[in-house]
Structure 1
Amino acid sequence: MSQLYPSYTVVNASDLTKLWVDAMVIGQNLCPFAASERNRGSIRYVIVDAQEVSTAMGGFLNELLFLQQSSEDEASTSLVIFPEGFEDFEIFLNLLDVAEDALIQSGVEGLFQLASFHPDYQFTGLSRDDITNWTNRSPFPVLHIIREGQMGRVLDSYKSPDEIPERNIDLMKKLGVKGLVQCFPPFQDYIKSASKD
């Protein structure tokens, strides 16, 4: 069971993450490119059942290899989900650092890049309760493997891509925590858990 989402078990971590993508990433248009990939069925949701960085990296590298061996039509992007073991944001950041180093060591830097999401995501320099953090808060810790070339082509065809982050921040401020919970009710579990810290 997730400590941050006690109502949801590891068994349905993939389903809950898909719901989050539908409700928040696509539903609130946080990523304008996600809907087309969801509709094509090319987003992969991969559960890595590991609680230590070394074993978690095995699952991450397996998925990275899968993407290397697959076409964009088969698998455009992967959300690698870690339901247990990385609830602590600092431990998750260590995993992210190791994963980014692995991209370099594997010789695929420039082909793939990572984005990260976490239930307790906190941008450097912001307080934990700053609403801006919610642009990157997800039900479970996630490493998002992105095909850099594909993303570059999409951004080239999108008007004012540099405005996307600022627009998302404005949306978070407009929604507020109450509005976020209305969009994605499982966030309520996170808020209750965080208030106990």
Structure 2
Amino acid sequence: MADAAAALADTRRWLERAVIGLNLCPFAKAVHVKGQVHYAASEAGDGQGVLEDFARELEALVALPARERDTTLLVVRRGMEDFLAFNDVVARAERLVRKRGLEGVIQVASFHPRFVFAGTEDDDVTNFTNRAPWPTLHLLREESLDRAVAAFPDAAAIYETNMETLRRLGRDGWAGLDVGPHP
């Protein structure tokens, strides 16, 4: 098991090489270049502990101005190797956002090393659009997303463009990105 520093370095490398490098998220580069992406590691080994870490990161994000911290990547180092168990934690995190009155303020996205879209096989290369080296909860400011989407000519096309990018790249191309170990 990698230590927290290694897991965060893996995640940063994945963001730089895959998400930004392949332009999977055209909004990521600007916040990355400005140093507005916060990386945090959860040391919890179960869903409840991960949610406690998520709650702390959620409060920390909303306490700061976007120019200082626009988004947070909470990297989960252990206990969430099972994709479906992780999805349960994601759903609970989304409920926590609503319970804190932050729906419409903060959005939760997620990435997992074993992510699989419904209706696809595990080895389908398009699943890699949502695969990260570690299970990751992404806290995004809705206001920043709205501005980014307004500035992007066809935000709805991102999903299809990403699928095509991964098909062209292929599994070997993805492996060549060297974006970190899978737990």
TM-score (norm: length of structure 1): 0.89
CA contact (8 A) 1:48 1:56 kept: yes
Cα distance in 2 between the residues matched to 1:161 and 1:18: 24
Cα distance in 2 between the residues matched to 1:37 and 1:10: 22
Q: Counterpart of 2:121 in structure 1: which amino acid?
A: S
Count the aligned residue pairs: 183
Q: Aligned-pair distance for 1:172?
A: 0.6
CA contact (8 A) 1:113 1:145 kept: yes
Q: Deviations over 1:159-196 (max 9, x none)?
A: 1111111000001100110000112253xx54xx8xxx
CA contact (8 A) 1:83 1:140 kept: yes
Question: Which of residues 65, 87, 109 in structure 1 aligns to 2:81?
Answer: 87
Q: Any runs of at least 4 consecutive aligned residues in structure 1 with deviations exceeding 2 A, and if so which? A: 8-11
- 1:40-55 aligned at under 5 Å gives the runs 40-55=34-49
Q: Aligned-pair distance for 1:11?
A: 3.9
Cα distance in 1 between the residues matched to 2:127 and 2:148: 25
1:126 aligns with 120
Cα distance in 2 between the residues matched to 1:32 and 1:185: 18
2:16 aligns with 22
CA contact (8 A) 1:49 1:82 kept: yes
Q: Aligned-pair distance for 1:130?
A: 1.3
Matched, 1:111 2:94: no
1:178 aligns with 172
Q: Aligned-pair distance for 1:109?
A: 0.6
Cα distance in 2 between the residues matched to 1:185 and 1:56: 23
Structure 2 unmatched runs, 5+: none
Q: Aligned-pair distance for 1:136?
A: 0.4
Q: Aligned-pair distance for 1:124?
A: 1.6
CA contact (8 A) 2:17 2:179 kept: no
CA contact (8 A) 2:133 2:179 kept: no
Structure 1 unmatched runs, 5+: 2-7
Coordinate RMSD, CA, aligned? 1.3
Q: Deviations over 1:103-146 (max 9, x none)?
A: 11111011011111000001122111111110000000001001
CA 1:100 to 1:111, structure 2 compared with 1: closer, same or farther past 3 Å? same
Report SS of the residue matched to 1:13: helix
Cα distance in 1 between the residues matched to 2:163 and 2:123: 14
Q: Aligned-pair distance for 1:9?
A: 4.2
Q: Counterpart of 2:30 in structure 1: which amino acid?
A: S
Q: Deviations over 1:40-92 (max 9, x none)?
A: 00000010100111111110000000111100011000001101110111110
Q: Counterpart of 2:52 in structure 1: which amino acid?
A: G
Report SS of the residue matched to 2:119: coil
TM-score (norm: length of structure 2): 0.96
Cα distance in 2 between the residues matched to 1:18 and 1:145: 15
Report SS of the residue matched to 1:126: coil
